[in-house]
Amino acid sequence: MQTWKSVQQIKGLRVAGMGDNLQDRARRAIVSDIEAGTYEPGERLPAEKELAAQLGVSLAPVRGALDQLAQRGTVVRRQGSGTYVSERGVRYRLESWQSCTDDLKNQGIEFDTQVLVCDTDVPPSEVADALHLQQGESAFHLVRLVYLRNEPGILLDSWTRDIDPSAFGDGAFFENGRSLYGELADQGMPIMSADTSIEICFTDELESSLFDLPYASPLLQVTGVANSRLGPTEWSRLRYNAPIFSLNMHREFEPRQM
C-alpha cells in the first residue's frame, strides 16, 4: 500500500470524475459553509433566493442541492419556516474505551492498515485546547485508513501529547495493526478514561476519495479525548464507513427500590 507522509499530500487528493454542474457546486458550497461554522446546528439557512444570489446561480440548482442535503440529513426543511442545519448528534459518556485496532482484533476481524500521516506538528486550536497544549506546542499526529476485506472502513485521525514517536519511523510501526494505546501503555501512560461524542457527518472531497464514496455520503463519527494518569493525552476522530458498521451499546440499570 502507498504511504503518504504529509498532510499536504493528502490534501492534494481529488475525486476523479466528480461532476461540476451547478447543483453539485451549490451543494458543495453549502456543505462547506456548514462545516466551516458559517451556519451552526439548528440555524436557519438564508432563503433560496438569497443563497442563489450568493452563489451566482439560479434558483433551480439551489433548490436541488437543498433537496439532496435534506435527503442525506444535512439539513431539515420545515414547511412555512425554511431550511435549517441539522442538530448535532447526541453526546455520550462511554464507560469503556479501547484502541480501535485492538477492538477489531478482539472480535477476530481481519484488517489492513494504511498510514497516511505519521509526524510531529502543531495541532489545530480545537485539538490543542482539548489536550491542554500551549500555543505553538507540537504533538504526535497519526492518520490511518483501516481496510476491512479490502474495503476502506475507518479513517482514524489522532493527536497525542507527551509521547516519544522515534520508534514509529515513517509509520511502518502501525502498518501491521500495532496499537497506539499499546505504545502509550509501554511508555507509562495507559489510557484510563475517555469522553466521546457520536454523530453523523458527511464526506468531503478527500474522504470521498479515500472511502471511494460519492461526495457528501454519510459517515459515523466518534470524537474523543482519552486520559492517562497525566491528564488529557490523546484527541481522536474516527470516521466509519456507515454501510459497514453499526453501533451497539450495552447499559445496565440498578433495580428500582420499592
List pLDDT tens digits, range 96-115: 455 677 677 676 778 889 99
SS3 251: coil
Would you state the pLDDT for residue 250? 54
Q: Give the Cα separation of 138 and 5 in Å (integer).
A: 17
Would you state the pLDDT for residue 142? 94
Q: Give the Cα separation of 131 and 127 in Å (integer).
A: 6
Distances (CA, A) of 60 to 22, 27, 49, 131: 9, 12, 10, 45
pLDDT exceeds cutoff 60 at 223: yes
Helices (H), 122-163: 125-130
Tell me the domains of the chain and their CATH numbers.
22-85 (1.10.10.10), 92-246 (3.40.1410.10)
Contact between 112 and 147 under an 8 Å Cβ cutoff? The reply is: yes
pTM of the model: 0.62
Q: Give the Cα separation of 41 and 36 in Å (integer).
A: 11
Helices 48-55 and 59-71 sit at what angle, rounded to 10 degrees? 110
pLDDT exceeds cutoff 80 at 8: no
Segment 124-128 mean pLDDT: 93
Would you state the pLDDT for residue 246? 61
Condensed to tens digits (0 to 9), the pLDDT of residues 18-42 reads 345 888 889 889 988 887 888 988 8
Q: Which residue has the cell 468531503?
A: 204
| Of 116, 237, 234, the residue nearest 175 (C-alpha) | 116
SS3 75: strand
Angle, CA 198 vertex, CA 227 and CA 224 arms, to 5°: 15
Q: Which of 49-58, 71-80, 183-192, 198-207 has the lowest mean pLDDT?
A: 71-80
Q: Please give the distance of CA 120 from its chain centroid, rounded to a whole number.
A: 20
> By percentage, how much of the chain surpasses pLDDT 90?
36
Contact between 197 and 224 under an 8 Å Cβ cutoff? The reply is: yes
Would you state the pLDDT for residue 28? 86
The count of other CB atoms within 10 Å of the CB of residue 138 is 14
Condensed to tens digits (0 to 9), the pLDDT of residues 60-91 reads 999 999 988 887 677 888 888 899 988 654 44
Segment 239-246 mean pLDDT: 77
